[in-house]
Amino acid sequence: MIRIVQRIKILGVGTFLFFLTIQLFGQANTEGVYNVKDFGALGDGVTLETTAVQAAINKCYLEGGGQVRFSEGQYLLGTIILKENVRLFLEKDATIYASHDIEDYRIPLDEANTPILIYANGANNIGLEGRGTINGRANHVYEDLKRVDLFIKDITENARKAGVEMKRYYKVAPVTGLVLFTNCSNVTIQGITLRESTYWSLHLLKSNTITIRDIQVYSNLEKGVNADGIDINCCKDVSIIDCVVETGDDAIVLKTWYDIPCENILVTNCELKSSSTALKLGTESMGDFKNIHFKNCRIKDSNRGLAIVIRDGANVNNIRFSDISIECSRRHFNWWGNADPIWIILTKRRESSRIGSIQNVMFENIIANGMGTSKIESTVGEKIKDISFVNVSFNMKAENYKDKRASHAFVAHCVENLTLTNVFVNWDRMQVEKKWESALSIYEIDNLIIKNFRGSQGLVQGDYPIILLHNVTNGYIINAVTEFRASIFIKISGAGSNKIILNKIDIEGKTEKRILVDPALKEEESIYDLDNSE
């Protein structure tokens, strides 16, 4: 059967090339488009189509590459292997479904710790395109808690004591990931929708020069544990643009399984919803993270907003979060996250783990609405360095679960060079939590600048200071204002506190000396200087 196809390519203003190609079924396809139905696929949603689809991919590859097209239909597949110079194109009404039969998957695959639906290894110039859908058909069961996650053991115990039911959702085999590309370059993923993966939806590993644009990823927000949206793992030169990700685990997350960095990565103009963390670095952190920018994103209904979690010795440098709005709400106890907008932690996975570093991180133009305490913390004695907040609002509201967790609005622990400029803390005054404390709790800090702060303590009639400084050296606070009268505006404690300058500290429009220094500290005047002169 002979098919005549016309193509028009625009080379310049008013310049056109007109191509006439003839495709002979079963012979060389000079146009480079291979419809899987021409290779025996039915698209009926019942017949296993793996062999037919793989034949189309193989033919496309052998003839120099091109597009393997899924026209309207439903395609049931096990593992297919994408090859060099081949792009899969899913038309709008085309859906690929993952088989529920483990025998339909190729196991093992290099770098895969679960069965994979669409896989590539060492393939360059590949892609997933079109307006179709890839559906993992994830199944879950709700069962008694089988084991306690050690990373959240305290949270789990707190939930148990509060009377929370000790049950959660578990995955049903086969635990399939939708897409894994490893050791690939020049990868384009555009337009498609990924739904209901049982494991990670889209995983790029040890790859470079990647563009992910205008895709949608969805997994069950209540059940989808481990069903991450987009995982970028030991990759460089990556752009993630104009995507919508709503997932039961991390939405967009950067990882390093190996001592290979994640670097030169841009995530912009994305809409995110997550039952874990919306934008995250870690926790797998064997290699470094550097030159990464998350910007112009909208985070809705997420258990955590922004996170850097270093447990395996990675060095983090030059990270920027800018122009991001965050709305957090609490999830079931088994999820990592406390409805906290921001969390940075430097810790160790196990005693033998290396100690990493975090430095040069900026949060700029952030509106953070949450129920949990935002934190910067180190558990290993190594200070986190050079952290800046510019134009950041923390807006605290009451928690929607009975196992309460929040205390302060913002905590910083073990930091060298912390700068807060134009930072505002607001608390919901209509519905409050009894455990609310200070706006800022800052301790074990060398070199602190707070400039143009506005906020109040969590409970208007509470005894907690608005700003708590403990073991802070070389501190400078200028232009600090509260709308509510507080018995203590700033409390200074800890034998390590020294050389703190307070300038223009204002309460209700009146400059007052409402500074409390721990009575255990001596020679108060050498600890801080209060200067409210113009």
pLDDT digits (tens, 9 = 90+) for 33-66: 999 999 999 999 999 999 999 999 999 999 999 9
Across the chain, mean pLDDT equals 91
Segment 313-372, tens digit of pLDDT: 999 999 999 999 999 999 999 999 999 999 999 999 999 999 999 999 999 999 999 999
Which of the four pLDDT bands, split at 50, 70 and 90, describes residue 475?
Answer: very high
Neighbouring-strand partners of residue 253? 231, 280
pTM of the model: 0.91
Residue 517: pLDDT band (50, 70, 90) is: confident
CA dist., res. 29 & res. 67, Å (int)? 11
Q: Which amino acid is at 267?
A: V
- Give the start-end residues of each E strand in 39-174: 44-48, 66-70, 73-77, 80-81, 86-90, 94-98, 116-121, 124-130, 133-135, 140-144, 167-171
Query: What pLDDT, in 10s, does the model give residues 104-149?
Result: 999 999 999 999 999 999 999 999 999 999 999 999 999 999 999 9
Q: Tell me the percentage of the chain whose pLDDT exceeds 90.
A: 84
Q: Which of 205, 202, 187 shows the shortest CA–CA distance to 243?
A: 202
* Residue labelled with tokens 């949608």: 216
3-state secondary structure 271-297: EEEECCEEEEEEEEECCCEEEEEEEEE
Alpha carbon distances (Å) from 531 to 76, 448, 505, 515, 528: 73, 17, 9, 12, 10
Model confidence at 19: pLDDT above 50: no
Q: Which residues pair with 327 in a beta bridge?
A: 369
pLDDT at site 511 = 44
Cα separation of 489 and 481, whole Å?
Answer: 9
Q: Among residues of the chain, what percentage have pLDDT more than 70?
A: 90
Q: For 519-533, what is the mean pLDDT? A: 60
Q: Which run of H or E residues covers position 119?
A: strand 116-121
